[in-house]
Structure 1
């Protein structure tokens, strides 16, 4: 029995939507613990606001985009946008690595998962549709 690229892509998108939603929920329920695990110390209203924007807002946006891409059938553009959002995070960490070094611990594992998931989405693009909507 063969498994289609489209089915695999849909499954991966659903897993990403679930994982991003759960990450956002964890950040909402215990921001101090999640921030500490990421090496962030939250100070004042602005610190918490920025944390919620990135770790709740962006994670929920990625989850919704992944879910939309999974439900919308064979629309490579939505999948590519999901991959772009996922890959932007390790790309930013790579820029930071030149200035201060690579992330460590949990954040390095998160970075590896983001990189693997984003590259997997790109690898599962429909054949013959490179750079086409």
Structure 2
């Protein structure tokens, strides 16, 4: 099935908005209850540095992803912004894949989250406007 350029753009914009919402909610969850969120992902927070690192990743990076996704959704004619959002998403399952060689694949909720990140990132790249390989 071949999608028209306007349909691809509409789907990509909707996906970017979903990504922004999900990333924002994940960051909010981490801010409101860091211990419970960390426990759900198998992370144990110890001391100031442990919490600081958790907030950097689970709040800071998630909010940056959300902001980038929102900006990309508003600037649909600039595919590079959506591509950068996809790279932010795909970097996480890639890092977990590297870790899988040393300690195994993630389990439980983290395995599901990894699959969602992978699918969303690949979908953004597949919905990229055609004919603009390196355009900003």
TM over 0.5: yes
Normalised TM-score (structure 1): 0.96
Specify which of 42, 48, 54 is matched with residue 51 of structure 2: 48
**Cα RMSD (Å):** 1.1
Normalised TM-score (structure 2): 0.94
| Match in the other structure for 1:118 | 121
Q: Does 1:35 align with 2:38?
A: yes
CA shift, 1:72, in A, is 1.1
Superposed CA offset, 1:111-131 (max 9, x none): 000000000000000112234
Equivalenced residue count is 132
Q: Which runs of 5+ in 1 are unaligned?
A: none
Superposed CA offset, 1:75-120 (max 9, x none): 1110100000000000000000000000000000000000000000
Query: What stretches of structure 1 move > 4 A for 4+ residues in a row?
Result: none
Question: Which moves more between the two structures, 49-58 or 70-79?
Answer: 70-79
Q: Which runs of 5+ in 2 are unaligned?
A: none
Q: Does 1:105 align with 2:108?
A: yes
